[in-house]
Amino acid sequence: MSLHHFFSAPIGTYGNALVNWASQPTRELIAFASSYRNAAMNLVAYREQLGIGAIDHSALPILFLYRHSFELYLKAIVFKAAILSISEAELGSALPRLWKVHSLLALVEMAKPILAASTSRPLTSSGALEQEIIELAGKIDEVDRGSYSFRYPVTSQGQASLPTHFLTNVFVFSEEVEPVLDSVAQFCRSLDEERVQTSEQMKLALHPILPMPPNPSFKWDAGLALK
């Protein structure tokens, strides 16, 4: 196996990391999501052990890592819906669009049909997981709609990314996010083992990432349009 070396040390040195080793990059979605989540957890644990000192801007990486992890888990679910319900030709055009979607609410809308279709497991049969996902996505979307607020102090229009005097608590945030990510991660793993019944609703939910139909009378769902 040939290796692409990037700031690496000799093989066997502690600290080396082998990344992107799956046969298909899309299989790495859950691994990436888990990695960002673990990094956030480690930062929260470090702050908890420290117990003193202002956190302030050190909260931003934690908030971003958790949000990005959530986004990747949702994209893993939507990707599963895509390969189940659309043709190979459509898939080739849809996937590049999917990777550009950063709105959690848009991803949730696309994920809803597969959440509803996976009713054979207690995790989804009650509809509780879908509701938890919707509520968390809504809360985060209020302050970080496009995955920029925790990464940049200013928007592309030169305005503040976050409200003035934005107060947050990394421990409260972690306690809110962790249970949902636990369930979402479990659901993502179960999708590979479960035969999900496809439906027309599933394909309809993927309209925001599908190629624009030639029919000029077709009405695009503006609420889910890519930004």
Q: Where do the structural domains in the chain lie, given as residue ranges?
A: 25-212+219-224
State the Cα–Cα distance between residues 166 and 126, nearest whole angstrom: 35
Q: Shortest CA distance to 87 belongs to which of 75, 98, 97, 95?
A: 95
How many residues belong to the chain? 227
Task: Please choose, from the candidates 34, 18, 27, the residue with its C-alpha nearest in 3D space to the C-alpha of residue 73.
Answer: 34
Indicate the Cα dihedral angle 60, 63, 65, 68, nearest 10°.
-120
Give the whole-number percent of the chain exceeding pLDDT 90: 60
Is the dihedral angle over the CA atoms 213, 217, 221, 226 positive or is it negative? positive
Q: Could you tell me where the beta strands, DSSP code E, fall in 80-214?
A: none
Report whether pLDDT(208) > 60: yes
Give the whole-angstrom CA distance, residue 92 versus residue 119: 29
Residue that is written with structure tokens 């609420």 in the block: 223
pLDDT above 70 for 121: no
Q: Are 206 and 85 in contact (CB under 8 A)?
A: yes
With a cut of 50, say whether residue 222 has pLDDT above it: no
| Secondary structure (3-state) at 160 | strand
Burial class, 227, CB count within 10 angstroms (exposed 0-12 / middle 13-18 / buried 19+): exposed
DSSP 165-188: T----HHHHHHHHHHHHHHHHHHH
- Of the candidates 188, 217, 169, which has an alpha carbon nearest to the alpha carbon of residue 107? 188
* Lowest-confidence region among 105-109, 154-158, 192-196: 192-196
CA distance 6 to 207: 39
Question: 10-26, pLDDT tens digit by residue?
Answer: 999 999 999 988 778 88
Percentage of the residues of the chain whose pLDDT score is greater than 70: 87
Q: How far apart are CA 126 and CA 121, in angstroms?
A: 9
Report DSSP state, residue 41: H
Tell me which of 32-36, 159-163, 190-194 is least confident.
Answer: 190-194
Rg of the chain over CA atoms, in angstroms?
Answer: 19
Overall pTM surpassing 0.85 (yes/no):
yes
Return the minimum-mean-pLDDT range out of 5-14, 48-57, 113-122: 113-122
